[in-house]
Amino acid sequence: MELLKKLTEAAAPSGREAAVRDIIAEECRRMGYEVSIDALGSVTAHREGSGAKLMLAAHMDEIGVIATYIDDNGFIRFGALGGLYKKELHKRRVIFSNGTVGVIAAEEEEFEKKPELSRLYIDIGAADKSEAQKRVKAGDTAVFEGAFCVSGDTVISKALDNRAGCYILLKAMEKLQSSKNDLYFVFTSQEEVGLRGARAAAYPLMPDYAIAIDVTDTGDTPSCPLMEVRMGKGAAIKHMDHSVMCDINVINSLKAAADQNGIAVQSEIMTDGGTDAGAIALTGGGVRTGGISLPVRYIHSPSEMASIHDINACIELTAAACSYEWKKGLSL
């Protein structure tokens, strides 16, 4: 779990992924992969093969905030980088890229009436605007604090969405032995703000197939929206989310790869949220796309929770997908 801990501890919100990108690029080079970095900061590691061209993508960025204005009293207004649950932000701690720590607070009476970001501010303990600007400037970004810990079979941390996906992809690359496929492992930028890095990375590749590795909600906690996915029951094969209807050939191929290797899997059908799969599927004339998802509780919070068993199942399935004999030129 040391690599996963290192990945989650990196502060890398959307568009500011350098801290985690450096870790990932170093790991890829250590394993002997050819590495390139595109204009949006996505990392691509290539393993050449004569078979089908397969793109596997996991996004590097995490949710965060960006300072937009500092008032005369030194309080910082901010905008969202990714999907924030506004009602849960009050009194949550954030840390800026230079190490400055602040607390999100609310104009309490107004916020209770209408929970909007405009009613929230970050308090860094500054006496006034001049003092605050010595530590934070408009345009500076921050992420939420949430220490990594292991509790039994679970890990709890900020940024499991989607550093766990990056970890799964890196470990599958390390595990991979033989494959005829032409493999592109892509660690994308700016997923949380519109699947942007995946779109830019997929266009020059135009793969035959693509698989997005990301997290998914679970349906196993009290009063949660009902869905089939359970934490501890294995890797989830994506059928759909709000951004994509997965290609049935990819779904069936992932199921076949799981069956061939005795990997525990479950079916993911999400009616909300999206992943890089949505952008990749619409690239060029279209790409046959699917997803491997890690069940995670409390997504987009500083205390995301996942099962180590499920993480390992996702690694096994991702590696099996890399070695699977994908059919080239498949037509409907």
Do both 50 and 69 map to the same domain? no
At residue 31, what is the residue type?
M
Give the pLDDT confidence score for residue 111 in this predicted structure.
85
How many angstroms separate the Cα of 127 from the Cα of each of 70, 73, 91, 123, 238? 12, 6, 19, 10, 50
Q: Is 108 a catalytic residue?
A: no
Q: Are 21 and 12 within 8 A, CB to CB?
A: yes
Query: pLDDT tens digit string along 157-194?
Result: 999 999 999 999 999 999 998 899 999 999 999 999 99
Do both 272 and 174 map to the same domain? yes
At residue 78, what is the residue type?
F
Q: Are 227 and 218 within 8 A, CB to CB?
A: yes
Do both 90 and 223 map to the same domain? no
Do both 32 and 82 map to the same domain? no
Query: pLDDT tens digit string along 314-326?
Result: 999 999 999 999 9
Structural domain count of the chain: 2
Q: Is 306 inside any structural domain?
A: yes
Do both 115 and 73 map to the same domain? yes
Do both 162 and 311 map to the same domain? yes
Closest CA to 330 of 165, 209, 241, 224: 209
Q: Which residues contact 78 (CB under 8 A, 6 or more apart)?
A: 65, 66, 67, 68, 117, 120, 121, 122, 142
Do both 189 and 308 map to the same domain? yes
Q: Is 314 inside any structural domain?
A: yes
Q: Are 120 and 99 within 8 A, CB to CB?
A: no
Give 330's pLDDT tier (boundaries 50, 70, 90). low
Cβ neighbour number for residue 273 with a 10 Å cutoff: 16
Choose the catalytic residue: 62, 191, 304, 316. Answer: 191
Final residue belonging to a domain, choices 144, 177, 202: 144
Q: Is 266 inside any structural domain?
A: yes
| Domain CATH number, residue 311 | 3.40.630.10
Do both 115 and 127 map to the same domain? yes
Quote the pTM value.
0.95
